[in-house]
Amino acid sequence: MTARLDDPAVETHGLRKVFGTLVAVEGLDLTVQRGEVFGLLGPNGSGKTTTIRMLCGLLDPTSGEATVVGLRVGVHGELIRRAIGYMSQRFGLYPDLTVQENLRFYATLYGLTGRERAARVEEQLTDLRLAQRRDQLAGSLSGGWKQRLALACATSHRPQMLFLDEPTAGVDPAARRLFWQLIHDLADRGTTVMVTTHYMDEAARCGRLAFMSRGKLFAVGTADEITRHFGQPTIEDVFVSLQQNDEGALS
């Protein structure tokens, strides 16, 4: 099956995931357009990571429907995984390989060989500003450099869609700012990005946001639209109010 370029990057209808008695995601209806930098926000346990994992084809939904770049989740899982990039806080870099060796390894995993692979590795070293670190062992990099290398590895195959699950957790503010410059560089070249984050300054860098709480979608829109919807002065206040609601429900 071939995805059409006019399909939304992500479209879900009634998407649901249950683990035993726990409803992790309930009735999710969401559309993300091509080329967006889209933020998925919510307190811990709100269903963000479960949603991302379903959209990446790593978890099968309990019910409902979802497409990613025009491909059906639960049906075209392998095709989805070839069309997307996925990066989490614990992306699997190989610490005993150099920066360049990690890039070559992941490029090979994504099917690049020979001159095409060599050219792509050099391109990634330049675009992600890693050239000065090409011969450094990945295990000796700081957190910010590791995340930059992980982003390069996740995009070796020029994915149509990039999922980032808490990618900058524990990274210093300067490294986070540069990381977001790189994300917007990718978006400017046509890659759709969905990112989960707890940092409200990062949320402000997204074109649109979706807020989840206790597995349900509460609001979707720009930062201004969402603050008006909740009657709160800032996105951070919205986040805190949802977090307090979640904690109250559990007490």
Provide the 10 A C-beta neighbour count for residue 207: 16
Check whether 4 has a pLDDT greater than 60. no
Nearest-10 Cα torsion for 233, 237, 238, 243: -170
From the list 169, 165, 155, the residue with the least C-alpha distance to 40 is 165
Q: Per DSSP, which regions of 146-207 are E strands?
A: 161-165, 192-196
Instruction: State the pLDDT at residue 170.
Output: 80
Instruction: State the pLDDT at residue 24.
Output: 96
pLDDT digits (tens, 9 = 90+) for 107-155: 999 999 999 999 999 999 999 999 999 999 999 999 889 999 999 999 9
Summary mean pLDDT of the chain: 90
Check whether 106 has a pLDDT greater than 50. yes
Instruction: State the pLDDT at residue 97.
Output: 97
d(CA 21, CA 104): 43
d(CA 163, CA 56): 8
Check whether 250 has a pLDDT greater than 50. no
pTM for this entry: 0.90
Which domains, ranges and CATH numbers included, belong to the chain?
10-250 (3.40.50.300)
Instruction: State the pLDDT at residue 251.
Output: 42
11, β-bridge pairs: 31, 67
Q: Classify burial at 106, counting beta carbons within 10 Å of its beta carbon; exposed 0-12, middle 13-18, buried 19 or more.
A: buried
DSSP class of 158: -
pLDDT digits (tens, 9 = 90+) for 35-48: 999 999 988 889 99
